[in-house]
Amino acid sequence: MKKIFFVFVSLTSTLSFSQKKSPKFSVAYNKNIETYFLAEILSADHRKHNKDFELYKIKECYDYQPVVKNALKKYEQLKNSDIAVATARINDLLLEKYGSGNDILMKPLLYHKEFPSTEWINEYRYDSNNLTKEQNEEVTRLIKNYFSELSKFYNKENIEQFFAENKSFYDGGIKEYSQQIPSGFTNAMEGLYGEAFNSYTVLISPMMMWPIEDNEGRGIGTDVILKSGAQNIYEIASPFVKVQKEGQFGYDNQFQARFLSVHEFGHSFVNKEVYQYKDKLEKFKDLFEKSNLKETMIKTGGYGDYQTCVAEHLVRLGEIETAKIQKDFERAEKLKEYHLKNNFIFIPLLEEKLKDYNSNRKKYKKFGDFVPQLLEIFENTNIEFINNALTQNKK
């Protein structure tokens, strides 16, 4: 991973520094992301996989996501268009052949300059350690060919006009989300992880459909490496509040906004560290699949891969520690309770282990240096502990 220069200061210094406002953080929206989700809405009738869920999302979200409602009213006649068929095809193929969802499209959508441009910010290549070199190249070609069609759709149907017509709603959503975020949280994260990124951007996505229950939405984290080597990281956020009256925009819930932002940015710090130790996690892979953990994690959030399970645990650990650095102990406790309730059973053990990291920062300059020690928590467990912990969570 490319990273900009960062000097780790002592924890005491980080605490005061973290309360300052970070000029690297912003909230915006992206036309490529929104255009894709528009095409996804139009594609529902053509899906082979998950068709019932896609239609359910439309039925639900039409009632409380104004941008979705406006898009359907304006473009409903395009449900049998070429882009609708192409969007269904790429999603079905990614799921069927490569085991991937639409989240993997977010990175290339941001590598591509905003429509109507047909250029790319930097060379994009798909890369997964679960696929062969040839398969990664196949996915790259598939995505690039699809984006060429998506760009044509944007121009042909004058999608730019839709954004102009809904500008006040997007502006309102940006303002609403911005009001939920704790000042300086990115600095607190940099202190925790011992490294920094060039910029941190929340991209609201009023077009992304996710049925809202208990103010829970969907967040997708990704990053873009610029030609200069600098790395920008992003969180793409669906609405998590039902819009039921004038002046609401779908993001007026502080806990969910803060949880999603720290969580998705956390993946950029954590994933690269976890995924390089795939071979080190062979024992946990066996435990993950033979215990009740895999089935439980799939139900929790679709986390059916052992590497993903580990990364999700460490990201949630980072959320709790970030809150502590910001002296928001109420948030830290609420996050811990929330994650334990959702079956992240290794959190207490990871918290205890992380004390060694916090007290030895001269030895462990950054979080990645300590990850092998955290992985031991997963490797040294057993089926009995896992199943007992999951059973306790149900009580």
Which of 131, 46, 53 lies closest to 87 in space, CA to CA?
46
User: Residue 377 pLDDT > 80, yes or no?
Assistant: yes
Residue 386 lies in a domain: yes
* pLDDT tens digits along 276-288: 999 889 999 999 9
What is the residue-wise DSSP string for 159-213? HHHHHHHTHHHHHHHHHHHHTTSPTTHHHHHHHHHT---SEEEEEE-TTS----B
Is residue 383 assigned to a domain? yes
Residue 176 lies in a domain: no
By CB atoms closer than 10 A (0-12, 13-18, 19+), residue 15 is middle
One-letter amino acid identity for 163? F
Q: For residue range 314-351, what is the model confidence (pLDDT) as tens digits?
A: 999 999 999 999 999 999 999 999 999 999 999 999 99
Kindly give, in sequence order, each residue whose CB lies less than 8 Å from that of residue 318, ignoring residues fewer than 6 positions away.
189, 192, 193, 262, 266, 269, 270, 367
Rounded average pLDDT over 141-166: 97
Residue 6 has pLDDT above 70, yes or no: no
The Cα 8–Cα 169 span in angstroms is 40
Range of the domain at 114: 30-166
Assign residue 170 a region (left: φ > 0; alpha: ψ between -120 and 50; beta: otherwise).
Answer: alpha
Region of 29 please: left (phi>0), alpha (psi -120 to 50) or beta. beta
pLDDT at position 168, please?
A: 98
The count of other CB atoms within 10 Å of the CB of residue 152 is 14
Q: Is the pLDDT of residue 75 over 70?
A: yes
Report the C-alpha gap between 231 and 198 in whole angstroms. Answer: 5
Reply yes or no on whether the pLDDT at 12 is more than 80: no
Q: Does position 22 have pLDDT exceeding 70, yes or no? A: no
pLDDT at 338 (0 to 100): 92
Q: Is the pLDDT confidence value at 65 over 70?
A: yes
Between CA 20 and CA 37 the distance in angstroms is 35
Predicted pLDDT of residue 1: 27
Domain end (from 136, 166, 196): 166
| Dihedral sign, Cα of residue 331, residue 371, residue 369, residue 236 | negative
Strand order of the β-sheet with 231-237 is 25-28, 199-204, 231-237, 219-225
Position 360 scores a pLDDT of 95
Is 288 inside any structural domain?
A: yes
pLDDT in tens, 228-260: 999 999 999 999 999 999 999 999 999 999 989
One domain for residues 281 and 161 = no
Tell me how many domains the chain contains: 2
360 located within any domain: yes
Name the helix (H) or strand (E) containing 219: strand 219-225
Question: What's the pLDDT band for 363 if we cut at 50, 70, 90?
Answer: very high
Mean pLDDT across 135-145: 96
Q: What is the DSSP letter of 223?
A: E
288 compared with 11, residue with greater pLDDT: 288
Per the domain annotation, does 260 fall within a domain?
Answer: no
Q: Give the pLDDT mean for 84-106.
A: 95
User: Phi and psi dihedrals of 204, rounded to 5?
Assistant: -70, 145
Distance CA 84, CA 20 (A): 46
Nearest Cα neighbor of 32 from 95, 96, 121 is: 121
Kindly tell me if the per-residue pLDDT of 20 is higher than 80. Answer: no
Last residue of a domain, one of 143, 166, 189: 166
- What is the SS3 assignment for 243? coil
**Mean pLDDT estimate for the chain:** 91
Is the model more confident about 182 or about 309?
309
Amino acid at 379: E
Q: Is residue 293 part of a domain?
A: yes
Burial (0-12, 13-18, 19+ Cβ within 10 Å), 7: exposed
Residue 270 covered by a domain: no
> Residues with Cβ < 8 Å from 83, sequence gap 6 or more?
39, 42, 43, 149, 150, 152, 153
* 18 has pLDDT over 60: no
Beta carbons within 8 Å of 166's beta carbon, 6+ residues apart: 67, 70
Q: Which of 134, 166, 198 is the last residue of a domain?
A: 166
Give me the mean pLDDT over the 363-372 stretch: 96
Looking at residue 182, its pLDDT comes to 81
pLDDT greater than 50 at residue 131: yes
